[in-house]
Chains A and B, each alone.
Chain A
Amino acid sequence: GQQLNQSPQSMFIQEGEDVSMNCTSSSIFNTWLWYKQDPGEGPVLLIALYKAGELTSNGRLTAQFGITRKDSFLNISASIPSDVGIYFCAGANNNDMRFGAGTRLTVKP
């Protein structure tokens, strides 16, 4: 099936630093999504992108839908301790959604 390559696998950063993670695919997606998962919980939708080239912000989060429709990135600015968690990208074509393996973010106070 379609494979999403998400990188990096993990990040250790200092509070206040900016973070960037990305996802690439061999296939085109119509929608790109970014989720955050806290321990013992299900993923929570952060940002949804519907149009190639779209750049969307949600507070300190910014995500872009790549022009080729095969990639997306997520930036977190001025990280805080509660940003800790696992971030997943997902690509969707209608109801077919595929997830990346996740980026585990650790923020040191």
Chain B
Amino acid sequence: GAGVSQSPSNKVTEKGKDVELRCDPISGHTALYWYRQSLGQGLEFLIYFQGNSAPDKSGLPSDRFSAERTGGSVSTLTIQRTQQEDSAVYLCASSPSGPLDTFGSGTRLTVV
């Protein structure tokens, strides 16, 4: 595709359920980032993948959060036992190198 694609665009889930958020980066982009954006807030770094290197997980807020990137392309962010404070927009971005220039439109997660 032409840009970074995220799915679903919206997700409403019950507290305690697990959710999976998907990111399809631009083909050939080796760097992939996940950020979380709460209402009216800036972007909070979650995790970074670069090629085959071990991911930088330093931003994951708890062990309920995990992410993987298969084959250096598609990435999945999983949140287990969701809590209401997990409600936010989850943004994925990819880059060939240098500054992030392409973000997806995000997945808006609402935990009820």
Chain A proximity mask over B1-24: 1 for CB below 8 Å, otherwise 0? 000100000000000000000000
B104 nearest in chain A by CB position:
A42
Shortest Cβ gap from B54 to chain A (Å): 12
Q: Verify B42–A88 contact, CB threshold 8 A.
A: yes
The verdict on B105 contacting chain A, using a C-beta distance below 8 Å, is yes
Q: Which among B35, B100, B106 has the greatest number of chain A C-beta atoms within 10 A?
A: B100
Shortest Cβ gap from B43 to chain A (Å): 4
Residue numbers in A under 8 Å from B93 (CB-CB): 42
The verdict on A51 contacting chain B, using a C-beta distance below 8 Å, is no
A98 nearest in chain B by CB position:
B45
Q: Label chain A's interface by main secondary structure.
A: strand
Shortest Cβ gap from A95 to chain B (Å): 6
Please give the number of chain B residues whose Cβ is less than 8 angstroms from any Cβ of chain A in the complex.
23
B43 nearest in chain A by CB position:
A99
For the complex, give the distance between the alpha carbons of A93 and B106 in Å: 24
Shortest Cβ gap from A72 to chain B (Å): 13
Residue numbers in B under 8 Å from A102 (CB-CB): 40-42
The verdict on A81 contacting chain B, using a C-beta distance below 8 Å, is no
Shortest Cβ gap from A8 to chain B (Å): 14
Please give the number of chain A residues whose Cβ is less than 8 angstroms from any Cβ of chain B in the complex.
22
Q: Verify B33–A97 contact, CB threshold 8 A.
A: yes
A38 nearest in chain B by CB position:
B105
Chain B proximity mask over A22-56: 1 for CB below 8 Å, otherwise 0? 00000000010100000011111100100000000
Q: Verify B106–A100 contact, CB threshold 8 A.
A: no
Shortest Cβ gap from A82 to chain B (Å): 18
Which residues of B in the span 10-59 have a Cβ within 8 Å of any Cβ on A?
A: 31, 33, 35, 40-45, 48, 50, 56
Instruction: Enumerate chain B interface residues (CB-CB to A < 8 A).
Output: 4, 31, 33, 35, 40-45, 48, 50, 56, 91, 93, 98-101, 103-106
Q: A42-B103, A90-B43, A90-B100 are in contact. List 18 more A-B contacts (CB 8 A).
A: A31-B99, A33-B100, A41-B105, A42-B4, A42-B91, A42-B106, A43-B91, A45-B99, A45-B100, A45-B101, A48-B98, A88-B43, A96-B45, A96-B48, A98-B45, A101-B42, A102-B40, A102-B41
